[in-house]
Amino acid sequence: MINLFPDIENGTFWFDLKNDQDIPYPAIAISAGNLYQSLDEEYSLDSAAMSGMNPFDYCSFQYTFSGCGCFEYERQGEMVFHELPRGTGFLIRPHMKFRFWRKEDSDWRYLYLLFKGEYACRIFDRIIDKNPVLSLAQKSPFLDDVYRLMEKCMFHKLSAYENIRLSNNLLTYLLEQSESDLLEDQDDFQKDMNDYILSHIQTVNVSRLAEHYHYNEKYFSAFFKKKFNRLPKEYILEFRLSYACYLLANSTLKTSAIAENLGFADASHFSNVFRNKKGVSPQKYRDAILIQKNL
- pLDDT at residue 153 tops 80: no
CA–CA distances in Å: residue 125 to residues 130, 150, 282: 9, 25, 16
- pLDDT at residue 18 tops 80: no
Calculate the average pLDDT of the chain: 84
Q: Of 1.10.287.950, 2.30.40.10, 2.130.10.10, 1.10.10.60, which CATH number belongs to 188-294?
A: 1.10.10.60
Tell me the CB-side half-sphere exposure of residue 209, using CA atoms within 13 A: 29
Residue 183 phi/psi, 5-degree rounding, is: -90, -5
User: What confidence tier does 181 reach under pLDDT thresholds 50, 70, 90?
Assistant: low
**What pLDDT shows up at residue 185?**
42
Q: Which range among 5-9, 22-26, 188-192, 265-269 has the greatest average pLDDT?
A: 265-269
pLDDT tens-digit map of 254-281: 999 999 999 999 999 999 999 998 888 9
Q: In the predicted model, what is the mean pLDDT of residues 242-259?
A: 90
- pLDDT at residue 164 tops 60: yes
- pLDDT at residue 225 tops 50: yes
Domain limits, CATH 2.60.120.10, in the chain? 3-180
Least confident of 67-81, 120-134, 173-187, 220-234: 173-187
For residues 62 and 100, the answer to whether their CB atoms sit within 8 Å is: yes
pLDDT tens-digit map of 208-217: 998 888 788 8
User: What confidence tier does 186 reach under pLDDT thresholds 50, 70, 90?
Assistant: low
| Percent of the residues in the chain that have a pLDDT greater than 70, as a whole number | 87
Q: Name the percent of the chain in helix, strand, coil, to the closest 5.
A: 50, 25, 30
**What pLDDT shows up at residue 272?**
94
Q: What is the distance between the alpha carbons of residues 124 and 146, in angstroms, rounded to a whole number?
A: 17
Strand partners, 70: 83, 101
**What pLDDT shows up at residue 218?**
87
The rounded radius of gyration (Å) of the Cα atoms in the chain is: 20
Tell me the CB-side half-sphere exposure of residue 38, using CA atoms within 13 A: 6
For residues 277 and 129, the answer to whether their CB atoms sit within 8 Å is: yes
Between 136 and 203, the higher pLDDT residue: 203
- pLDDT at residue 106 tops 80: yes
- pLDDT at residue 14 tops 80: no
Q: What is the distance between the alpha carbons of residues 261 and 243, in angstroms, rounded to a whole number?
A: 10
**What pLDDT shows up at residue 5?**
61
Between 12 and 34, the higher pLDDT residue: 34
- pLDDT at residue 85 tops 50: yes
Q: Of 3.30.70.100, 2.60.120.10, 3.40.50.620, 3.40.50.1370, which CATH number belongs to 3-180?
A: 2.60.120.10
**What pLDDT shows up at residue 194?**
87
Q: Could you count the other beta carbons within 10 Å of the beta carbon of residue 250?
A: 10
Measure CA 44 to chain center: 21
- pLDDT at residue 4 tops 70: no
Domain limits, CATH 1.10.10.60, in the chain? 188-294
**What pLDDT shows up at residue 21?**
47
DSSP, residue by residue, 202-248: TT--HHHHHHHTT--HHHHHHHHHHHHSS-HHHHHHHHHHHHHHHHH
**What pLDDT shows up at residue 15?**
63
**What pLDDT shows up at residue 206?**
94
